[in-house]
Structure formats: structure tokens, C-alpha cells
Amino acid sequence: MPAAGFVVVFMAAGGIMRPMSPDVRLRKPPRLRAGDRVRLVAPASPFAGGPFNSGCRVLRRLGIEPLVEREEFSREGFLAGNDRSRVFRLVGALQERQSSAAWCIRGGYGSARLLDLLRPEPASYHAKVLVGFSDATALLLAFSRPGGFVTFHGPVVTQLGRLPRGALQWLRRLLFDPRVPGRVPLGRLKTLVGGRTRGFLYGGNLSILASLVGTEFLPSLAGAILFIEDTGEQAYRLDRLLLQLRSSGALQNVLGVVVGDLHGCRPGGRGRYAARAVVERAVAELGVPAVSGASFGHLARNLALPLGVLAELDADRGRLEILEAVVS
């Protein structure tokens, strides 16, 4: 529940997200420690009990104790409860002192519906570990804009049960270790455009990014190394999403791109108009250092990535390296 005296503001957001610059560093959330409690939240779709229980067991193996309210199991059509209930629960998770993290249970659809109600002013929140991906991209971006704190594009609770050991070890390293993480073990990457660049890591689900075009909720990506993933989309839709981002100016001054998993996107295979080929071609046209085939997204090996931290992409060598600590 929200801390005493905190009021949720139900009105349109008043500020436009501004680009990161080297002079503006995001606050680092305190690292997780064995014995910490983490609050589980469902800001989007309802979830199945089996994957949820498996995910809770993984959290306990990490040495942290999941906390969940009965209301998180609500179901109203394709949403885990009405918008006001979900935003109230999310704010409570971020504000309470009895937990050290807010962890999304599932993606699906619905997180962006909270932005008008949430009116996220990240400077008013204490830095806290916030983990999610896919539909939660909207929330991760909202809290990691200047004045905010580092957030984590990583496996939701219902995905944790099938997370491979290596990805789980990397997740632990990010969230529990205050040292600079260094090279991200994204697997063997394909070079789309060679070169080397430094920028601030930003990104997430391509569909969600494109859906925010024309709203005050899409941050400037100038100076960013952009990472993207998606699931279940047709190749022409992926092309349309990237065209929308590019035509809107959102991709202007992006410094690099990392393409992750395109789980279930069709057609598959290696043809010229296969989903991945279409995305790779559109990304290459940006003319900035770019790689493809990174292990994050809806596949089992969903490697976590922090938003808003300085990183270096060496596209020639297929390497992404985080250059600063992500937790304090």
C-alpha cells in the first residue's frame, strides 16, 4: 500500500521526457541482499498460477522473499483489475519501506494505461529496483528518465521458472552486486553495421515503444544505445513499427542498436522478407553501429538489461559492455 500521506494523482502527465546527457546520472537503487523482501505486482494482464508459483520458488532460491497482495490476482477481462486499482498497487509497491524491489508478475497488456493516472514524476520516488519487460516497457521508461532511477528490463515472475542458470546468475549479478557489471553475455551477435559507440542503454518492446509515439510518455532516445525485442508480430508489422519510430524522429541521434529476440514473429527462416531480416534491414538503414541476435526478450534466456546506464557497443566484435554500476 502507498506510504502514509502519499496521494496518487489521477490526471494527465504534464512533462515531456527529456534525453539523457552525460551530465545527468540516474540514481542507483540499493542492491538486493539475502533476506530482502520483494513486492510482486500485476500492472497489466492476469496470470496463471503454475508459472507464478514456479517464479516465486526461484526468487526464494535467490534468497529473497516474495510478497503479494490478494488484489494482484484480480481479473477484469484482459486486465489484472481496473486501472485505478493497478496503479494504486504499483505506487504502493514503489513507496513502501518493507520491500526492496517491485517485480512485475506478467506483461501482456495494460501498463501504458496507467501512465495518465500515475503521472510519474520519478524524482519524487526513492530509487528502488523495478523489474519487468514486454508491456512493462512503458513503466521502465517512465521511471528511468532524468531525475529518476535505473530500472531493469528483465524476466517477469512467470518467466523465472524457465530461466536458464546462466541468465539467472547474470540477473543476480545485476541486482545484488554494486560493482560495474562489465560485458553482457548476450551470446553470439551478428554485425549489421560496424563501428563502436558509447551511449545510455534504453529500449524494450518495439510495439510498446511505437505505441508511445505522439504522446508525452515516449522519452527522447537521442544519445541512446537502443535495444529492441518483440513477440508474435508479422514482418510487415515490425517494418511498420520501425517506420513509425523513424518517421516521427524518435530514432534521430540514436547512437547504436541491439536487436534481441523476435519470438514467434513471422515468417521465420532466413528469407529476404523473414521477420528478422526485415528488422535487420530497417535497423541497418539507420547507419549506426548495430547488432542482432541478442539473448533478451520472450525467449527462455531473457538476459536482464538496465535502463539509463552508460554502455559501450562494439558492433565489429559483437560486444555490449556496461560501463558503470547499476545498483548502489
Statement: 37-162 belongs to CATH 3.10.20.740: no
State yes or no: is 99 an active-site residue. Answer: no
- Considering just the CA atoms, what is the radius of gyration of the chain in Å? 18
Q: Does the structure show a pLDDT above 80 at 96? A: yes
Backbone angles phi, psi at 303, to 5 degrees: -70, 135
Q: Where are the domains of the chain?
A: 37-162, 182-322
Q: Does the structure show a pLDDT above 70 at 10? A: no
Residue type, 129: V
Q: Could you tell me the pLDDT band of residue 24, with boundaries at 50, 70 and 90?
A: low
State yes or no: is 96 an active-site residue. Answer: no
Would 37-162 and 182-322 be classified into the same CATH topology? Answer: no
HSE, side-chain direction, 13 A CA sphere, residue 96: 20
Of the residues 45, 111, 134, 220, only one is catalytic, namely: 134
The single residue listed with the C-alpha cell 523513424 is 246
State yes or no: is 298 an active-site residue. Answer: yes
Of the residues 153, 292, 295, 298, only one is catalytic, namely: 298
Q: Does the structure show a pLDDT above 90 at 152? A: yes
What's the distance, Cα to Cα, between the start and end of the chain in Å?
A: 25
Cross-strand partners of 131: 103, 152
Range 101-122 average pLDDT? 92
Range 57-61 average pLDDT? 98
Range 182-322: architecture per CATH:
3-Layer(bba) Sandwich (3.50)
Three-state secondary structure call for residue 142:
helix
Query: Is residue 41 classed exposed, middle or buried when 0-12, 13-18 and 19+ CB atoms within 10 A define those classes?
Result: buried
Of the residues 72, 96, 229, 233, only one is catalytic, namely: 229
Q: Could you tell me the pLDDT band of residue 19, with boundaries at 50, 70 and 90?
A: very low
pLDDT digit string, tens, across residues 219-272: 889 999 999 999 999 999 999 999 999 999 999 999 999 999 999 999 998 899
Q: Is the dihedral of CA 284, 290, 294, 298 positive or negative?
A: negative
Percent of the chain surpassing pLDDT 70: 93
Q: Does the structure show a pLDDT above 60 at 20? A: no
Range 54-66 average pLDDT? 98
Helix then strand count (H, E) for the chain reads: 9, 14
Residue type, 82: N
- What's the rounded Cα separation, in Å, for the pair 37 and 5? 23
Range 102-113 average pLDDT? 97
